[in-house]
Structure 1
């Protein structure tokens, strides 16, 4: 569940965000939208339908008395993890669904859009407004996940297709320096009237020792030095679990990297290109980020160190791994019902990432935002900022 928001819910804003999801998928072919090459990837068609089901399930079905559910089986097909709502297709089996067709899913989106836009236009209560805001924020999260999943789908094909949607990292032009942060007690967590997720709440004080944090992200060129120095072959640099993961999966470089004719090549959504040493290194696991920091004689910042220092550096190119487990803040409370399953149930075996990425939707970048993934995942747009 999320915090109460001061954002304004209008039909225009609702439809604009919904259209953005379809824009991301606009250059996909029908053959692209149902495939699921890994269990952590969801087919684009599923994203289009799931974000629609959210509004149908939690708004139209509960508050619109004259609305008739579009299809009685769609709740089973397109529920994600809301156990309070009912049974669902297992995540790893989403790619087995060739039906409903893409056309049926687009008709589903159009139907729900029409009904909900009309419903909003008639005037809604604060309670309903807050739930719709959750739905819009949820959809924008899926817009970023869509980009991750499309890149993974395309990046594991021999033709390395391009996506007609601009996603571009910028070179790290700053000379690396380390920003000193004084020892002291600092306040952490969301503290204004804008929207936030519940995991950002419970503003509290933390004590930090004096530390220094890099003004920029680690670059591809710097990471290549780690590779060439044998970083993937030195068990001393890795957590035991990370070393096992590297060995079992034969990792030698970040995701989407290929060594071809004596040079590193990389798949991007703009095609298969030579690795640009000046761009920040991306698509690394927590294990890789940790090992690189160890090799440099440094460490990853905690999420609290990152948040305190974030006013002194630019962020937003890549989600940045921190050395903090994803846990609740003091006085964190989870609401009852299905929407209470949103964040709290995942507070185990995950690490926090801070900042945002070039794939992040508008207004989802703030210093208190707590993203979280399992340590072995790297299909997300993740990078490394060092601390010492």
Structure 2
């Protein structure tokens, strides 16, 4: 019995050795089965297949980015109006996560710098403004930077990630130090609606700029622009492949960019033909995009309220169930039941830290949930 088992293992080991040798010889011939090599074989620069790389590229080359053209012109009109007057103006830019608010602001800044270089511009992230009283140095650094500037456009990005009281107080400080300024702030819709009254009391807005999802035509154009960045030779991807990406992403730039990159990887993993719609479907499943619109649409009011509070709770670690219990004034078992359901539905994820679990809305589904909240006017929970 032992001899038979020993010979079986020896045979298994020999097979493993043979496969190892075959793989070694393939490597000697340059046949490497990894994603980077596959990308290279298809003329794609692997270093460019990264969301952050693409974001930075289009921020540096706004002329190549498909953007919200009508909204850009609207902002340009307001800044042009401001340039001939002395006052403090405020323009909130509102859009779901991944819609391209940062890209939009960077494009405004870049284009304005080209046509009116004498207008001073300053850009800040809202979460740079620490809580006053604890780490108040940064906002006063900003105050000192802005003091004395004759005419300045100030961009405050990612307001949804700042602690609300600190942000509003920071805007008050900025408003108090500049006499001739145009402030552009960016917000997710639920965060803007929840805090707009407090902001307006400090810094009334001239109007609101709402960024919408791209049309199918603009999405396909944007995807083609991205593929030109990925490959110097360009990628000739079938139109049905790009249309499938649009269908799952509904024209949200952050989503269709992630889906394109994930589809390329699925093409490699599943050994599909480049441009296969099957790769898009597989990537959509992995990113929890398959059926997400229907899932979000069918959510109960209670679940939408929970998700709204989770989005408004802007701590990057997430929120604990006990904190949701306090916010919702519901018993722990009810909150836990709904959180478990939301996890099963692929909308929420959790992470254990010590004895506590922290929950947050998954990044890829945030825009779909924010759209649902916006459509239903459910901001305050």
Same fold (TM over 0.5): no
TM-score, with length taken from structure 2: 0.30
Structure possessing the higher radius of gyration over alpha carbons: 2
Bigger RCO of structures 1 and 2 (CA < 8 A, at least 6 apart): 1
Flag the structure with higher helix content: 2
Taking structure 1 as the reference length, what is the TM-score of the superposition? 0.30
